[in-house]
Each structure stands twice: as structure tokens, then as C-alpha cells.
A and B are shown apart, each in its own frame.
Chain A
Amino acid sequence: MKYFAVLFSLFCLSVEVQARPVSYPEGWTLIVTNDENTNSALIHYSPTAKYSIGLRHEYFREAGTHVDTVQLNNLLKRWNSGGQQANLYLQSGVGGVLDDGAYSPAAFTGIATDWETRRYFTSYENRFFWSDDSEKFIQQEARLGIAPYIGDYGDLHTWLMLQANYNTSKDDSFTLTPLVRFLKAGTLVEVGYSFDNNLHFDFIQRF
């Protein structure tokens, strides 16, 4: 398991934070993400703990394009072991891009994986984005995190994290963002500020 975590940490390099893109059976999740390139919102429903389906809207500020997709997240494999958990997901979406008043088809797919204990966290995910009209690109994101203290269920949990992003659609494609994660029950908030001076804000609510 340790090698699994190290491997993905080394493989590093915006994919929105999904923090478990599949929820509990019959659970709804709202995910809002704002980073150096994108504003996005995803609401998804998990019929089982194995997959979720949702609607996603993204706005790419630099390009001025809006992307609307139906997104399917599949939990391909979960490893539960004592006080640790690892997951492998497939995330895919189909929909359209609104650019200069015209819609064109778009799709994306990618994998996401994470390994987590109550003290340490690491994750990696990628996304291959394709549209008929605008550019194609690959986004990658990796994270390392540590919890400075361990709380029990219902406490306010705090994580210190470092996120690395690589995006082939941008000139300055590599970004490092230190951030702080707060998690309490079904609510997660993340605030960060990247080394190239961009605010990062995520909000997740599980219902």
C-alpha cells in the first residue's frame, strides 16, 4: 500500500477536486470548484456506492467557454485495510461546449485515485478533454496532505495539502497550490493560494 501511495505521488502533475466522486447509496453531492483556470459546479447522485451520475457546468475563464456535461463516475476498485483506504475511479462525461454563441460536442474521461489514512492523504487524477470545436487538452492533478491533529467523527478536521496541476492547454502549465482543507460531517471546504497568485476555493456538501 505504501508503494501505491508513493507511486502516485511521484507521478504528479486542473482537474477539480472530487474528494470521493461517488457518495453513499442514494446520496446527493454538490461540488463547487474555483481555481486558476476554471469555475465549475457538479451535482451528482449515487444510486449505489459503486457509481454516481451528475450534471456538471464548467467555465474556462481564459478561453471564455462554457462546458455542460452529463458525468458518470465509477468506483472501479476500493481497498479497505485497517485504518486506510484506497480508491480507483473512472470519470467520464459527454455534453457540449458553448463558445462564441455556438454549441459543439464535447467529452472527457480520466482516472482518479487516492490513498488515505486519518493522518496522510495522497491523490492523483487526470482528464483527457475533447471537443469538436475548441482545443483538446490533458489535465493532471496530484496532492499530498497531512492532518496536524486527528479528530473523531463530527469534529472539525483540518488538512494541510500541496496540490500540483499540469494542464497542456496553458502556457504556464505547471502550478503548485498550498491549501487548507476543513472537513466536518458532510461538509468540506478548501482554501488555497497558488504560487502564481491565484485563489483556490472548493466546497463539497454531501446530502
Chain B
Amino acid sequence: MNKFLTLLAVTFIMTMPTLTPAFADDKKDDIVITVEGMVCDFCAQSLKKVFNKEDSVNDIAVNLDDQTVIVDTKDNAELSDTKIKELIEWSGYDLVDIKRGNS
């Protein structure tokens, strides 16, 4: 039992450094977009559907409280500010601000 617990603890400790930087890297690459006009789930769904069709987008989260769209791009993929503005307006909303990484 002790061996099992020791093995479990060692596995957990060894895994931590691997997981933490990966998570941090993902957050660093996120694009936080502030959008005007999002008032309900239909709005959020519209933006999700439109962004998810983009090849460069891995995942998207919508926060109605903050009026933000958080886009996780695929590795080595580019999603320009111009393209983001185009996608927001194509969805029927207005772009306020784009923040990348730690900016």
C-alpha cells in the first residue's frame, strides 16, 4: 500500500511540471476580444459557430458578464486583428478591443 501511495505521489509530482507550463502556454496564446451587443445565449452561440469554422481556431469561450470572447488558436496558427474584426462583424456584432497574450 505504501509503495502504491509513494508511486502515486511520485507520478503526481513528476506530472505537475509538465502540465503547468502547458496550461500556462495555452493561456498566454489566448486572444481576448471585447464585443458590443452580446446580450444572450443566441448571441454567444452565433459567435461560437462563426469562429469555430475558422481553421486557425482551436476553441472559443464566451463570457457574457465581461462581454468577451476568448479564442484559443491552434499551434502556429495566425488569427489577425483584421480577420477577428471581420468575423465579429460577420456575426452581427461590433468589435471593441483585442488583447493578445500578456498585452
Main secondary structure of the interface of B (DSSP, over half): mixed
Residues in A whose Cβ lies below 8 Å from that of B43: 85
CA distance in complex: A145, B92 (Å): 23
- Residue from A27, A78, A185 within 8 A of B41 (CB atoms): A185
A81 is an interface residue with CB less than 8 A from chain B? yes
CA distance in complex: A24, B49 (Å): 8
Known: A84-B39, A186-B41. A49 touches B91 (CB 8 A): yes
Asked if B91 and A25 sit within 8 Å, CB to CB, the answer is yes
> Which of B39, B43, B62, B63 neighbours the largest number of chain A CB atoms within 10 Å of its CB?
B39
Residues in B whose Cβ lies below 8 Å from that of A157: 40-41
Known: A25-B90, A25-B91, A49-B90. A153 touches B37 (CB 8 A): no
1/0 per residue, CB under 8 A from B, across A182-207: the answer is 01111010000000000000000010
- Which residue of the partner chain B has the closest CB to A79? B37
1/0 per residue, CB under 8 A from A, across B35-53: the answer is 0111111111111011000
Q: Which residues in B have some Cβ–Cβ distance to A below 8 Å?
A: 36-47, 49-50, 62-65, 67, 90-94
Q: Which 9 A-B pairs have the closest CB atoms?
A: A80-B37, A24-B46, A49-B92, A153-B44, A80-B36, A80-B94, A85-B37, A153-B62, A116-B39
In the assembled complex, 23 residue pairs joining A and B whose CB atoms fall closer than 8 Å, in A order, are A23-B46, A24-B47, A24-B49, A24-B91, A25-B50, A25-B90, A27-B49, A48-B90, A49-B46, A49-B92, A81-B37, A82-B67, A83-B38, A118-B39, A118-B40, A152-B63, A152-B64, A153-B64, A183-B40, A183-B42, A186-B41, A188-B42, A206-B45
